[in-house]
Copies of this chain bind each other. A is one copy, B any other.
Amino acid sequence: MSVVNAEIIAIGNELLIGDVQDTNTAWLCARITGLGGVVRRATLIPDDRQIIAETLHAALARGTQLILTCGGLGPTDDDMTLASLAYALGLPLLESPEALAMLTESFQRFYRAGYTHNPDLTPERRKMAMLPAGGQPLANPVGAAPGVLLRHAGSVIVCFPGVPEELIGIFEGALGPLLRDLFGTGCYDEWVVEVRTGDESQLAPAVNRLQRDHPGVYVKSRARPYGATPRLKITLCARGDDCREVSRLLQAARQDLGAAVSALGIEIISG
């Protein structure tokens, strides 16, 4: 069973002052998990060259196969993800003709649509075409800044803009073939069971036993605030190369869960 491991690095001061809720990380986690991969860690850091470089080095040192960064690809000076990556990896920052062509096309499009008064590639716009040497631009179907794909020492690094719609557009679009290549036929599936109790501690012995009896399935019960709707979610999930085996593992765990919950006199609402 060869599972691709991934890390996410979300970059932007606005995340750490609490001005923006980072939703990119959860979205990427769900997608990578759905493709059969494992996200091992996500880190939110400021727009700071040294910290970006250190965080990237740490992810590479952990042998991370897929490193996804979000944010810091825009036109202002505090957008410094690509320059920091180049610095971290000792690569020159070069103007990519392919990225420049994408930017030219984007700003012509924005100009025709009336979103900008001027379609010219000003220095601030050209900045978005400066990629670490070897970087491959990924077309941004929504905004201006292209994503970037860079292979380094056995790892794949993908840089996304921070605007969620743009990140999603690149992930679903230009990145598709790479993802199919990287993840192959890995399988992930999950089963969510809702039961009628608000008391996680009452279920805890059953959940603990279930986890011990089914080591190939990850079992998670989710607490809600006491006194809120008296229902509790239990998630069963499994991953592997063989989709039928994944499904078999989940069904066996679901059966034992049902028996344990019924034995406690707790009703199953759904799942």
Contacts and interface: CB of A to CB of B under 8 A. Distances in A.
Interface of A: 13-23, 25-33, 38-46, 51, 74-78, 106, 110, 113, 115-118, 122-125, 128, 142-144, 161-163, 165-166, 190, 198-202, 204-205, 207-208, 211, 218-228, 230, 235, 237
Contacts of A75: 200-201, 204
B222 A17 contact: no
Nearest to A34: B18
B30 A26 contact: no
B40 A41 contact: no
Nearest to A198: B115
Contact of A29 (B16, B117, B208): B16
A125 to B, nearest CB: 5
Nearest to A117: B202
Contacts of A45: 40-41
19 contacts: A14-B222, A17-B190, A18-B31, A19-B220, A42-B44, A74-B200, A76-B204, A76-B208, A76-B221, A77-B208, A78-B219, A78-B220, A113-B226, A115-B198, A116-B202, A124-B204, A143-B225, A143-B226, A161-B223
